[in-house]
Amino acid sequence: MPRSIEFFFDYGSPYSYLANALLPGLAARTDADIVYRPMLLGGVFKATGNRSPAFEPVEAKRAHGGESLRRWLAHHAVPFAGNPHFPIDTLGLMRSCVAAQREGVFAAFHAAIYPAFWVAGENLGDPRVVSAVLGAAGLDAPKLVECAASADIKAQLRATTEEAVARGAFGAPTFFLGDAMYFGVDQLPLLERALEECPA
C-alpha cells in the first residue's frame, strides 16, 4: 500500500488550515510523505451539491460548527484569528498555488499563504493583497501571477478538482491513502492508524 498521504485542500477552508498544521507531525510519526493537491473547493461544492458550513441554514448547527472549530484549534494550539473577509473567492489564489508548485516554490508559498489567510486575516481574494504577501515572503509575485493566468495552470487546477470529485471528495480537507478516502480533521487519527498498519 502507498506510504503517501494525498492532501486535497483549498486555502479558504479553515479545517484545511488546521489539517495542514497537524499533517507534518502525523507524517513524521508514520514515516509517510505528504502530497499536496490544491483543488478549488467551490468547484467541488458545485459538482457535488454540497455547500460551505458558513452557509449552513440551521443557525444552531452553524454556530456549533464555528465553536467546534475554535475548540479544535485551541486543543491543538494552532494560531487562529479568523478572517473578516471570509468566505473568499479562492480561484486566483488556488491557481497561484498550482503555479508555485510548477515553479518549484510551493513550500515558501504555502508557508506564507496560510498564516496570511487565517492569522493575519488578509483579503486573499484580492490579487494585489496576494502579490504583497508573496513579495514579503521573498517570492517573485509577478512571475507567479503570470504563470497562474496560463491555460495549462487553469486546466491543471480544474483537472485536480475533477479528480477529487471523481474519487469521492465532497469538501475539504480530504485525504487519500491509496484508494481509501478520509474526510475531515476528525479522521486523521483513523488515517494515522491505517498508516501504522501499512507495511513499510
* CA 106/CA 98 separation, integer angstroms: 8
**Among candidate residues 197, 196, 166, 164, the one with its CA nearest the CA of residue 16:** 164
Amino acid at 134: L
Compare 198 and 11 and report the one with higher pLDDT.
11
Report whether 94 contacts 42 (CB < 8 A).
no
Mean pLDDT, range 34-44, rounded to an integer: 97
* CA 200/CA 15 separation, integer angstroms: 29
What is the distance in angstroms between the CA of the first residue and the CA of the last residue of the chain? 8
The CATH number of whichever domain residue 147 belongs to comes to 3.40.30.10
In the prediction, which pLDDT does 1 show?
47
DSSP designation for 56: -
In the prediction, which pLDDT does 200 show?
62
In the prediction, which pLDDT does 52 show?
81
pLDDT tens-place string over residues 136-193: 999 999 999 999 999 999 999 999 999 999 999 999 999 999 999 999 999 999 999 9
- Kindly state the cell numbers that stand for 108: 515558501
Compute the residue count for the chain. Answer: 200
Residues marked as catalytic: 13
Q: Which domain holds residue 161?
A: 4-197
Count other Cβ atoms within 10 Å, centred on residue 52.
15
Mean pLDDT, range 7-13, rounded to an integer: 97
E-strand spans in the chain? 4-9, 33-38, 174-177, 180-183
* CA 117/CA 104 separation, integer angstroms: 22
Q: How many domains does the chain have?
A: 1
Mean pLDDT, range 111-129, rounded to an integer: 97
In the prediction, which pLDDT does 56 show?
74
CA distances to 22, 82, 114 from 68, rounded to whole Å, are 17, 14, 20
- Kindly state the cell numbers that stand for 154: 487553469
pLDDT tens-place string over residues 16-25: 999 999 999 9
pLDDT tens-place string over residues 55-111: 778 889 988 888 999 999 999 999 999 999 999 999 999 999 999 999 999 999 999
